[in-house]
Chains A and B, each alone.
Chain A
Amino acid sequence: IRYTLLKDEL
């Protein structure tokens, strides 16, 4: 499961 600190969602 990948979680990214780079937030691409609004």
Chain B
Amino acid sequence: MNIFRLTGDLAHLTAIIILLLKIWKTRSCSGISGKSQILFTVVYITRYLDLFTNYISAYNTLMKIIFVVSSLATVFLIYFKFKATYDRNHDTFRMEFLIIPSIILALLIRHEFTVMEVLWTFSIYLEAVAILPQLFLVSKTGEAETITSHYLFALGSYRGLYLLNWIWRYYFENFLDWISIVAGFVQTVLYCDFFYLYVTRVLHGRKLRLPA
């Protein structure tokens, strides 16, 4: 564990909590892509199957359980409890366009051809692009609530911090995993346009509104 991974994990946790609190307090999930949340749930479930096979640490186990349970709770809030507020007309990105290529890529480019390893690799690839339905929804409506912007910023920071963690691990632990690094890089790049708007607008007290 190093400072980048820890802050990355905390940013990830913060993002999840912000989203759950936003939905719960406002009793509304408007502006949130249910499809991105379903994809993240698929990511956590396929990646954390090792909860049943390997024990790493209490921290590792606890965080994995939190990610799986909170993502399931988020999906439940969007599709059941507050479904009347769900923006289904704007949330039109096709999930299969992300899931199917991720499956194919995981079958082709992975470390070992075992069920657990292919599922882990699939989860890495899918996570890299899982935010696209959410970004698509924001671009369709042309704006995002400030709290949604904070959520996206925390979620985007997490993989960026992991990139620093991988640089650290390469130098100090001689650890290198190209699959994580390339996918993490793609994931972070997808947020760049949003990061720019966040820093130039939201941090200056304005709402995130896309340029016409």
Chain A interface residues toward B at CB < 8 A:
1-10
A2 close to B175 (CB less than 8 A): yes
Are B173 and A9 touching (Cβ within 8 A)?
no
A10 and B9: CB pair below 8 A?
yes
**Of B27-35, B56-64, B71-79, B86-94, which stretch is located at the interface?**
B56-64
Instruction: Count residues of chain B with CB under 8 A from any CB of chain A.
Output: 24
Chain A residues near B50 (CB-CB < 8 A): 7
Main secondary structure of the interface of A (DSSP, over half): loop
Q: Say whether B120 faces chain A, with CB atoms less than 8 Å apart.
A: yes
With A6-B54, A9-B5, A10-B9 in contact, is A1–B111 under 8 Å at CB? no
A1 contact from B120, B162, B174, Cβ within 8 A: B174
Residues of B within 8 A of A6 (CB): 54, 56
Given A5-B112, A5-B117, the answer on whether A10 and B67 have CB atoms closer than 8 Å is yes
